[in-house]
Amino acid sequence: MSDKIRVRFAPSPTGGLHLGGVRTALFNYLFARQNGGDFILRVEDTDQTRFVEGAEEYILDCLNWCGITPDEGPHAGGEFGPYRQSERKALYREYAEQLVEQGNAYYAFDTPEELDQKREEIPNFQYGHTHRNNLRNSIFLPVNEVQQLLKDGVPHVIRIKVPVDENIGFNDLIRGRVNFETSTIDDKVLLKADGMPTYHLAVVVDDYLMQITHAFRGEEWLPSAPVHLLLWEYLGWKTAMPQWAHLPLILKPDGHGKLSKRDGDSLGFPVYAMNWTDPKNGDLTKGFRELGFLPEAFVNLLAMLGWNNGTDQEIFSLEELVQQFSIDRISKAGAQFDFEKAKWYNHEWIKQSSAANLEPQVIPVLRQHNIFAENYPQLKKIIDLVKDRCTLLTDFYEHSAYFFQKPTTETIDWPSIQPKWNQAKTDFFRAFIQKSQEIETWETVVIETTFKGLVQEKGIKIGEVMLPFRIILVGGKFGPAVFDIAEVLGKQEIAERIEAALAFLGR
């Protein structure tokens, strides 16, 4: 076996991919890239009742959007396939049977109903050493009866036989030594009645077969780690076991409970990376992408949830993260998600992104409002002019719409100029239209000089006409420097806007 670093992201295709999932994928990716290793996508679709059509494609789309495409997986191929556990079904039974033969596992014929009843009758019922000896399994039942049940095809599961009074532990890369007492662990089901493995069996078998060297997963898996440890040992693969790193959980903003898929967008912010439509009922759950997040920002904010490089730096590109990521700087405590800070990251990324990078993402935003800017020669300039004002990509609409559409008499902020309007201002703007038509090189500075020269000439205060000029062109008290706006709009357009305003004000 080579010593190449191999990590896997192993989601279950049961719906949208949420924050925590993407972060796990990201940390896997960073670690793999940093060490010249492989990043594998493995689809854990062993629960046929929870399978959701389209979820797998959606997950891959999310990873692609974030720029963390797997090297191996159901779509990328690879030497360790198949990468969907449902397609590896036959494999798991062999190992489960091997464990039964070795005496480390056993057949159990109890029906779910019987177990439910036990749980009701016996407080804190656990299917383990305390009860396994009088339940319907191959430990308690006579051999010939078990043979008969198997021959008759009676539905059964295979359970691990957890030893009594053993101390078992491992060194977590994030938490250090973690120990468990086996007597407190129950005999987890390894192979379900439908022949599919549970997570516990599948994760061990596949991590071994796929030669995974480091396993990152959420902290919620910590309690089942001892089961996995036992399996690695019983299957005889102990020396090949990956190193574990249990990531801190991402908590709801109020700190009560982990952020879960089911939170959807009910918390006032999205939980999913991208829009997700439930194929069963058509319900749409909003995602970060559609809300106007840049993938760079999304990746950045996710990385900072539980990791930092020890300095004050907070803005990291994916490349920088690959360079600087280190497991020992991952924090142990869960992190409450703060949407305000998330938006700050996006704002920062928009501000520092080039117009060229932003342009293809701004065009669809404008198109949603029937502004078709793709062939607009000044689009890049407009983006540079307004990007400081945009926290989300969707903000580009309200901050740049006036470049493409004349403000209407209904939307213009008349109250800010009308009360102080007078004939002198009307005269000034008429004269300005005239003067501006004579400008040969239509540039910000020239427009400004012309404007100011006219102010002098007319003997009025510049403060009295600056705001009206802005409002006439833009519609309100916002936007970049007014002469920059005038330059982009062009002399014809500003003349039309001034004329329209004068007509309204002169009624």
4 backbone dihedrals φ, ψ, rounded to 5°: -65, 135
Q: Which stretch binds RNA (CB under 7 A): 69-77, 216-224, 433-441, 495-503?
A: 216-224
Please report how close the Cβ of residue 23 comes to RNA at its closest, in angstroms: 11
Please report how close the Cβ of residue 455 comes to RNA at its closest, in angstroms: 7
- 251 in contact with RNA (CB under 7 A): yes
Please report how close the Cβ of residue 3 comes to RNA at its closest, in angstroms: 27
**Residues in 318-377 at the binding interface with RNA, rule: CB under 7 A:** 329, 331-336, 338, 340-341, 344, 351
**Residues in 78-117 at the binding interface with RNA, rule: CB under 7 A:** 110-112, 115
- 463 in contact with RNA (CB under 7 A): yes
Could you say which of 4, 119, 238, 430 contacts RNA (CB under 7 A)? 119
**Residues in 152-191 at the binding interface with RNA, rule: CB under 7 A:** 155-157, 175-176, 178-181, 184, 186, 189
Q: Which stretch binds RNA (CB under 7 A): 73-81, 205-213, 292-300, 301-309?
A: 301-309
* Complex with RNA: residue 3 or 165, whichever CB lies closer: 165
Of the residues 261, 406, 435, 491, only one is catalytic, namely 261
* Complex with RNA: residue 107 or 232, whichever CB lies closer: 107
- 121 in contact with RNA (CB under 7 A): no
Dihedral over alpha carbons 300, 306, 311, 316 (to 10 degrees): -10
- 440 in contact with RNA (CB under 7 A): no
Q: Which stretch binds RNA (CB under 7 A): 61-69, 265-273, 302-310, 371-379?
A: 302-310
Please report how close the Cβ of residue 200 comes to RNA at its closest, in angstroms: 7
Q: How many residues does the chain have?
A: 507
- 262 in contact with RNA (CB under 7 A): no
Could you say which of 40, 304, 383, 393 contacts RNA (CB under 7 A)? 304
Q: Which stretch binds RNA (CB under 7 A): 72-80, 248-256, 264-272, 427-435?
A: 248-256
Q: How far apart are CA 44 and CA 63, in angstroms?
A: 16
- Give 307's DSSP letter: B
Q: Report, in angstroms and rounded to the nearest whole number, the Rg of the chain calculated over CA atoms.
A: 32
Beta bridge partners of 105: 160
Q: Which stretch binds RNA (CB under 7 A): 138-146, 149-157, 269-277, 430-438?
A: 149-157
In this structure, the number of other CB atoms found within 10 A of the CB of residue 504 comes to: 13
Using an 8 Å Cβ cutoff, are 277 and 262 in contact? Answer: no
Residue 423 amino acid letter: Q
Please report how close the Cβ of residue 56 comes to RNA at its closest, in angstroms: 13
Q: How far apart are CA 59 and CA 62, in angstroms?
A: 5
Task: Confirm whether 286 is a catalytic residue.
Answer: no
Q: At what angle do helices 462-474 and 423-438 cross, to 10 degrees?
A: 70
Please report how close the Cβ of residue 103 comes to RNA at its closest, in angstroms: 21
Residue 156 amino acid letter: H
Using an 8 Å Cβ cutoff, are 79 and 39 in contact? Answer: no
Please report how close the Cβ of residue 112 comes to RNA at its closest, in angstroms: 4
Q: How far apart are CA 291 and CA 128, in angstroms?
A: 48
* Complex with RNA: residue 329 or 430, whichever CB lies closer: 329
Could you say which of 9, 92, 106, 199 contacts RNA (CB under 7 A)? 199
Using an 8 Å Cβ cutoff, are 367 and 396 in contact? Answer: no
Please report how close the Cβ of residue 222 comes to RNA at its closest, in angstroms: 4
Helices (H), ranges, 103-209? 112-121, 143-151, 199-209
Q: 3-state SS of 65-127? A: HHCCCCCEECCCECCCCCCEHHHHHHHHHHHHHHHHHHCCEEEECCCHHHHHHHHHHCCCCCC
Using an 8 Å Cβ cutoff, are 364 and 280 in contact? Answer: no
Could you say which of 7, 10, 100, 241 contacts RNA (CB under 7 A)? 10
Q: Which two tokens stand for residue 506?
A: 């002169």
Q: How far apart are CA 32 and CA 51, in angstroms?
A: 28
- 221 in contact with RNA (CB under 7 A): yes
Give first-to-last CA distance, the chain, whole Å.
Answer: 86
Residue 321 amino acid letter: L
* Complex with RNA: residue 445 or 481, whichever CB lies closer: 481
* Complex with RNA: residue 424 or 503, whichever CB lies closer: 424
Mask 36-55, x = binds RNA (CB under 7 A)?
--------x-xx--x-----
Could you say which of 319, 481, 503, 504 contacts RNA (CB under 7 A)? 481
Q: How far apart are CA 52 and CA 29, in angstroms?
A: 25
**Residues in 441-460 at the binding interface with RNA, rule: CB under 7 A:** 455
- 430 in contact with RNA (CB under 7 A): no
Q: How many residues bind RNA (CB under 7 A)?
A: 81
- 12 in contact with RNA (CB under 7 A): yes
Beta bridge partners of 251: 258, 336
- 224 in contact with RNA (CB under 7 A): yes
CA angle 212, 234, 143 (to 5 degrees): 140
Cα 157 off chain centre by: 36
- 394 in contact with RNA (CB under 7 A): no
Mind telling me the catalytic residues?
261
